[in-house]
Amino acid sequence: MKKRSRKAKPKPALPPGVRALKTKSFARESRKEGISVKELCEALAELSKGQGDNLGGNVWKKRLNRNMHRSIAIESPERFWVLVYLFAKQDRKNIEDDELAGFKKLAKDYLKANDAAINSQIANGNLEEICNERKEDH
């Protein structure tokens, strides 16, 4: 009797040319909570397919870490995603309206940023690029 081969489930991926970034503070918090870069990349790939909570103004909320944490991500359509904020579900139910307004303003600033500005933020350590096959992500 022959064994049936199981096809590996394809890993979710961001659309070609879309960059994935996280802020310095998000990187610190996600490491502290043990959330892997692989999980972050999968979450961003799901967000790029609309699988998350659209809070408006290019701001999204996504569950992470087996639903124990929430992330706030900013989208610049067809250009990049930036993970900007992480919070534990047990600590708070949601973000406040004034925080959402701040994230929407931040999203507008990111939408105005060109690639040189983003690359400068990466070079000075304010942003970190992830989900890039040129780098090894853990």
DSSP assignment string, 8-47 = PPPPP-PPTT-EEEEEHHHHHHHHHTT--HHHHHHHHHHH
The yes-or-no verdict on residue 130 having pLDDT over 60 is: yes
Show the domain range for 53.
19-130
Specify if 93 maps to a domain: yes
Q: Which of 99, 95, 58 is nearest to 80 (CA)?
A: 58
CA distance 92 to 112: 31
CA distance 49 to 67: 19
Specify if 107 maps to a domain: yes
CA distance 21 to 26: 10
pLDDT (0 to 100) of residue 2 = 54
Specify if 84 maps to a domain: yes
pLDDT (0 to 100) of residue 11 = 64
The yes-or-no verdict on residue 50 having pLDDT over 60 is: yes
> Domain count of the chain?
1
Specify if 6 maps to a domain: no
pLDDT (0 to 100) of residue 136 = 43
The yes-or-no verdict on residue 1 having pLDDT over 60 is: no
- Taking only the tens place, the pLDDT of each residue in 10-30 is 667 899 999 999 999 999 999
Confidence of residue 132 (pLDDT cuts 50, 70, 90): confident
Specify if 14 maps to a domain: no
Please give the mean pLDDT across all residues of the chain. Answer: 91
- Helix, strand or coil, per DSSP, at residue 3: coil
pLDDT (0 to 100) of residue 9 = 58
Specify if 7 maps to a domain: no
